[in-house]
Amino acid sequence: MLRTDKPHLTRDHLLWLLRQMVRIRRFEDKCAELYTQEKIRGFLHLYDGEEAIAVGVIPVLEERDRVVATYREHGHALVRGVPMNAVMAEMYGKVEGCSRGRGGSMHLFDRTTNFYGGNAIVGGGLPLSVGLALADHMRGEPHVTACFFGEGAVAEGEFHESLNLAALWRLPVLFVCENNLYAMGTALALSESETDIQRKAACYRISSEAVDGMDVVAVEAAARRAVAAIRGGGGPRFLECRTYRLRAHSMFDAQLYRERKEVEEWRSREPIVRFQGWLKENDIVHEADLASIEAEVAAEIAEAVAFAEAGAWERVEELTRFTYAEKPGEGAAHHAA
Amino acid sequence: MPPEPIPQTLETTYREAVREAIRDAMRRDPSVFLMGEDVGRYGGCYAVSKGLIAEFGPERIRDAPLSESGFTGAGIGAAMAGMRPIVELMTVNFSLLALDQILNTAATVRHMSGNQFGAPLVIRMATGAGRQLAAQHSHSLEGWYAHIPGIRVLAPATLEDARGMLWTALQEPDPVLIFENVMLYNMAGQLAAGAGAVDIERAAVRRQGRDLTLITYGGSLWKALDAAQALAADGIEADVIDLRTLRPLDDATIMASVRRTRRAVIVDEGWRSGSISAEIGMRIVEQAFWELDAPVGRVCSAEAPIPYARHLEMAALPQVPAIVRAAKATLGPT
Q: Answer yes or no: do B124 and B97 share one domain.
A: yes
**A130:B112 CB<8 A:** no
In sequence order, what DSSP letters do the residues of A265-322 get, joined into one string? HHHTT-HHHHHHHHHHHTTS--HHHHHHHHHHHHHHHHHHHHHHHH--PPPGGGTTTT
| Residue B4 pLDDT | 75
| Residue A1 pLDDT | 34
Residue B91 lies in a domain: yes
**A116:B117 CB<8 A:** yes
| Residue A234 pLDDT | 93
Counting the structural domains of chain A, the total is 1
Among residues B202, B196, B189, B193, the alpha carbon closest in space to that of B164 is found at: B196
| Residue A332 pLDDT | 59
Identify the band that residue B1 occupies on the pLDDT scale cut at 50, 70 and 90. Answer: low
Q: What CATH number is given to the structural domain containing B162?
A: 3.40.50.970
- Across the interface, of A133, A139, A324, the residue whose CB is closest to B174 is A324
Residue A323 lies in a domain: no
Environment class of residue B2 by beta-carbon count within 10 Å: exposed (0-12), middle (13-18) or buried (19+)? exposed
Distance CA A294, CA A285 (A): 13
| Residue A337 pLDDT | 35
DSSP state of A58: G
**Percentage of chain A modeled with pLDDT above 70:** 96
Q: What is the mean pLDDT of residues A126-142?
A: 98
Show the beta-strand stretches assigned E in chain A: 66-70, 115-119, 145-150, 173-179, 182-183, 186-187, 207-212, 237-242
Residue B4 lies in a domain: no
Q: How many residues does chain A have?
A: 337
Give the residue from chain A lying closest to B148, CA to CA.
A323
**Percentage of chain B modeled with pLDDT above 70:** 99
Q: What is the mean pLDDT of residues B33-60?
A: 97
For residue B180, pLDDT over 80 is answered with yes
Q: Answer yes or no: do B24 and B87 share one domain.
A: yes
* Residues of chain A neighbouring B169 (CB-CB closer than 8 A): none
Residue A147 lies in a domain: yes
CB of B111 less than 8 A from some CB of A: yes
Q: Answer yes or no: do B114 and B251 share one domain.
A: no
Residue A335 lies in a domain: no
Residue A23 lies in a domain: yes
Among residues B285, B273, B281, the alpha carbon closest in space to that of B297 is found at: B281
* Host domain of residue B214: 204-330
For residue B6, pLDDT over 80 is answered with no
Segment holding A130, helix H or strand E = helix A125-138
Instruction: Let me know the angle formed at the C-alpha of A159 by B35 and B65, rounded to the nearest 5 degrees.
Output: 30
CB of A129 less than 8 A from some CB of B: yes
| Residue A294 pLDDT | 97
* Residues of chain A neighbouring B114 (CB-CB closer than 8 A): 97-103, 109, 322
pLDDT in tens, A24-40: 999 999 999 999 999 99
Q: What is the mean pLDDT of residues A7-32?
A: 94
| Residue A336 pLDDT | 41
Residue A26 lies in a domain: yes
**B70:A127 CB<8 A:** yes
Final residue in a domain of this structure, among B157, B192, B227: B192
Final residue in a domain of this structure, among B169, B192, B215: B192
Residue B270 lies in a domain: yes
* Residues of chain A neighbouring B82 (CB-CB closer than 8 A): 135, 139
CB of B206 less than 8 A from some CB of A: no
Query: Quick check: ipTM above 0.85?
Result: yes
* Residues of chain A neighbouring B69 (CB-CB closer than 8 A): 127, 157-158, 161
| Residue B334 pLDDT | 60
| Residue A5 pLDDT | 62
Environment class of residue A118 by beta-carbon count within 10 Å: exposed (0-12), middle (13-18) or buried (19+)? buried
Q: Answer yes or no: do B58 and B174 share one domain.
A: yes
DSSP state of B17: H
| Residue B162 pLDDT | 98
Residues of B assigned a catalytic role: 68, 137
Identify the band that residue A184 occupies on the pLDDT scale cut at 50, 70 and 90. Answer: very high
* Host domain of residue A118: 11-314
* Residues of chain B neighbouring A135 (CB-CB closer than 8 A): 77-78, 81-83
- Across the interface, of B83, B116, B152, the residue whose CB is closest to A135 is B83
Q: Answer yes or no: do B70 and B188 share one domain.
A: yes
Q: What CATH number is given to the structural domain containing B288?
A: 3.40.50.920
Q: Answer yes or no: do B24 and B173 share one domain.
A: yes
| Residue A9 pLDDT | 83
pLDDT in tens, A212-267: 999 999 999 999 999 999 999 999 999 999 999 999 988 888 899 999 999 999 99
| Residue A79 pLDDT | 98
* Residues of chain A neighbouring B150 (CB-CB closer than 8 A): 323-324
For residue A6, pLDDT over 80 is answered with no
Final residue in a domain of this structure, among B171, B192, B213: B192
pLDDT in tens, A85-115: 999 999 999 999 999 999 999 999 999 999 9
Contacts across the A-B interface (CB distance below 8 Å): 144
In this structure, the number of other CB atoms found within 10 A of the CB of residue A141 comes to 13
Identify the band that residue A4 occupies on the pLDDT scale cut at 50, 70 and 90. Answer: low
CB of B173 less than 8 A from some CB of A: yes
**B111:A323 CB<8 A:** yes
Q: Answer yes or no: do B264 and B163 share one domain.
A: no
pLDDT in tens, B195-204: 999 999 999 9
User: Of A82, A126, A321, A324, which to mutate for an interface test with B (greatest number of B Cβ within 10 Å)?
Assistant: A324
Q: What is the mean pLDDT of residues B104-130?
A: 97
Give the residue from chain A lying closest to B173, CA to CA.
A325
Counting the structural domains of chain B, the total is 2
Residue A325 lies in a domain: no
For residue B104, pLDDT over 50 is answered with yes
Q: What CATH number is given to the structural domain containing A105?
A: 3.40.50.970
**A134:B83 CB<8 A:** yes
Q: Answer yes or no: do B164 and B247 share one domain.
A: no
Q: Answer yes or no: do B129 and B224 share one domain.
A: no
Q: What is the mean pLDDT of residues A153-162?
A: 97
Q: Answer yes or no: do B174 and B220 share one domain.
A: no
